[in-house]
Amino acid sequence: MILSVTAAAANEARTPICAIDMGSNSFRRIVGSFEKGRYEQRNIERRTLGVGDDVARHGRISDPKLAEIEEALSEFKTSCETEGAARVVAIGTSAFREAPNGARAVEIAAKLGIPMEIATEKRESELAYLVGSLGQDGYAVIENGSRSIELVSKDGRAPRYVVFNLGYRLAYEEFFAGADDPEAASVAFRDRLRQEARKAPFMRGKKKLVGVEFGEMVDVLFEPGEVDGRVFTRQELKQKLHQITTSRADEFQVLKKKKDIDRALPRLVVAAFLTEEFGYSRLELTERELGTGLIIEAGLHF
């Protein structure tokens, strides 16, 4: 039986796609599909490569790090094929934009048969919006990565966005790592966030505020539980932040020794401050990560 073009396209939409999200700190191999507004994730695999730190240290992606990238992509592709993914795609984010030799990663991926793009700020924001909204209009999305934060909304037109380099790793090192006073550190970080938030009035008044990549904030600072669809009220976020910022200096030092606090604490400040700054009473989280946007985008095209 010969399938029509429409039927063949529908079959391809249902077949899982493997998206490799090459973040500044971690790579993620995501296998999933998107059809008729429903996203289904089959598998996710994470690997910490620290490309952003490598670029900061060397001013480029070092040769040993390029070899690590090639090894990770090769193993990821093999796993994707084993799981029956229709195709494998990859995207690099801010560290690859900043590195003068970021295109070397594209060449390595191409050698392995993986189409890879280095996302512009606009492109990364578009994908972040798809992750947070599943393609629906009228949402405001905060995506908090390791090096950058994307603020993006869409209402019947092209997404409007602001991107700034205050991701959790940069923010923790600048404001919290050497601090003794948690309140002073939090205030300084909020002051910087306020400067950026003023550039994003388009984030106000949407039907929902969604947070992308806030899972570690939940795991480290709140009661464990499902991240996807979890809602935090503005009051809950402010109360947790107040609990930390009013702690004694010795208590703050103990907190900073907690595993993954560098990933969690800056995100809590972002969540609490921007929820209030943009006038929302609640923040809804999604477990979906940036690479999921490639899968959702493919499904929307069918």
pLDDT of residue 158: 85
pLDDT of residue 259: 95
pLDDT of residue 225: 87
Cβ-proximal residues to 226 (8 Å cutoff; 6+ apart), any chain: 287
Residue 180 DSSP SS3: coil
Identify the segments of the chain with pLDDT beneath 70. Answer: 1-14, 302
pLDDT of residue 9: 47
The answer to whether the CB of 271 falls within 8 A of the CB of 211 is: yes
pTM for this one? 0.88
What sign has the CA pseudo-torsion 252, 256, 262, 264?
negative
Q: Which residues pair with 282 in a beta bridge?
A: 233
Q: Tell me the per-residue pLDDT of 210-242, one tens digit each, with 9 for 90 and over.
A: 999 999 999 999 998 899 999 999 999 999 999
pLDDT of residue 3: 37
Q: How far out from the chain centre does Cα 13 lie?
A: 24
* Domains recognised in the chain with CATH numbers: 5-119 (3.30.420.40), 124-286 (3.30.420.150)
Max Cα–Cα distance, the chain, nearest Å:
72
Quick one: which of 164, 168, 167 has its CA closest to 151? 164
Cβ-proximal residues to 5 (8 Å cutoff; 6+ apart), any chain: none
Degrees to nearest 5, angle at CA 281 with 157 and 202: 25
What sign has the CA pseudo-torsion 288, 290, 292, 298?
positive
Q: How far out from the chain centre does Cα 197 lie?
A: 18
